[in-house]
Amino acid sequence: MQIKILAKAAIAFAILGGSAAVPYCLHAQTAVQDATQTEPWVSTAWLASHLHDPNLVLLQVGEASQGNAAHIPGARFVHLEDVAATSSKLSLELPTAQELRQRLQGLGISDGSRVVVYFGNDQVSAATRVWFTLQSAGLGAHADLLDGGMPKWHREGRPLTDQATAVTPGTLAPFKLQPTVVDVAFVQAHARQPGYVLIDARAAMYYDGLEKSGADGHLRNGHIPGAHNLPYTDITNDDLTLKKPVELLALFRKAGVKPGDQVIAYCHIGQQGTAVLFAARAVGIDAVLYDGSFEDWTMRNLPVER
């Protein structure tokens, strides 16, 4: 699945009326020279042909009740709690590097693993949160999302099993967390600054203030001041496959993202926002997550807009 993705993004942006000479992250010439850049997803056909690779770690993300249901052969079940901090006041937050290393090893992930994450039903953002966590652990070069997830795999009549997968603990070298998240101070300092675009990944009814969101006891109507709305559901087609790069770039452009901008994404608790980060990565846009998101913002009783 290797492509020159940044060059592809530059061409797509040119189609939208931008300049192909300066894409979102790098100069187009650099992108053309970088033949090793890969898409952050794999197709069902690719997975079918690599299903028995000895270094493959296949992770199905979903609710605990799905753990014993039919799944792709070799897959092991993972819930968001399995890769989140256990001692946080927030609903979902990255653990420390040491804790995350232990969690990932428990899933059978080693330094030489090729990890493919997929959603079991329609929980695209749960799968992108696990993918994002792997990026944060520095495993991004060897971690992908299965495009279309279980629904696409099932529609194509590919093999399923209800047999549990035996997991042998993996071995990972100690690592430092990558700079994939920002805190509330960063958001406050950069939300309206040139070169940064704050994106609210929640559904429009929350962004517009028609429905409340936030921490228990601190529910608010509206969004963080200066934020633009790009609902996480917009990055996929009706069949939950990822939209084409030119369509993704159009979404970011509509949300106010210009070439060279860094996206700061947030949502309710830091799950849906990772779908927007995934889409940004797919077209070469630099993006980070406000971990804790609107839950953290309202817990601090900070102002909102409607």
- Domain residue ranges of the chain, discontinuous segments joined by +: 41-155, 181-299
- Residue 161 in this model has a pLDDT that exceeds 70: yes
Half-sphere exposure (Cβ direction) of 167: Cα atoms closer than 13 Å: 19
Over residues 222-253, the pLDDT tens digits come to 999 999 999 999 999 999 999 999 999 999 99
pTM metric for this prediction:
0.87
User: Going by DSSP bridges, is the β-strand pair 196-200/56-61 parallel, antiparallel, or unpaired?
Assistant: unpaired
Residue 98, Cβ neighbours under 10 Å: how many? 10
Contact between 64 and 123 (Cβ < 8 Å): no
- Domains 41-155 and 181-299 equal at CATH topology level: yes
Q: What is the CATH number of domain 181-299?
A: 3.40.250.10
| Spatial distance between the Cα atoms of 199 and 227, rounded to a whole number of angstroms | 5
Does CATH place domain 41-155 in 3.40.250.10? yes
Lowest mean pLDDT among 25-29, 87-91, 260-264, 290-294: 25-29
Which pLDDT band, with edges at 50, 70 and 90, does 65 fall under? low
| Spatial distance between the Cα atoms of 265 and 290, rounded to a whole number of angstroms | 6
Over residues 138-153, the pLDDT tens digits come to 999 999 999 999 999 9
Above pLDDT 90, what percent of the chain? 81
Over residues 163-197, the pLDDT tens digits come to 888 999 999 999 999 999 999 999 999 999 999 99
Round the average pLDDT of the chain to a whole number and report it: 88
DSSP element (H, E) containing 41: strand 41-42
Name residue, tokens 């492509």.
Answer: 3
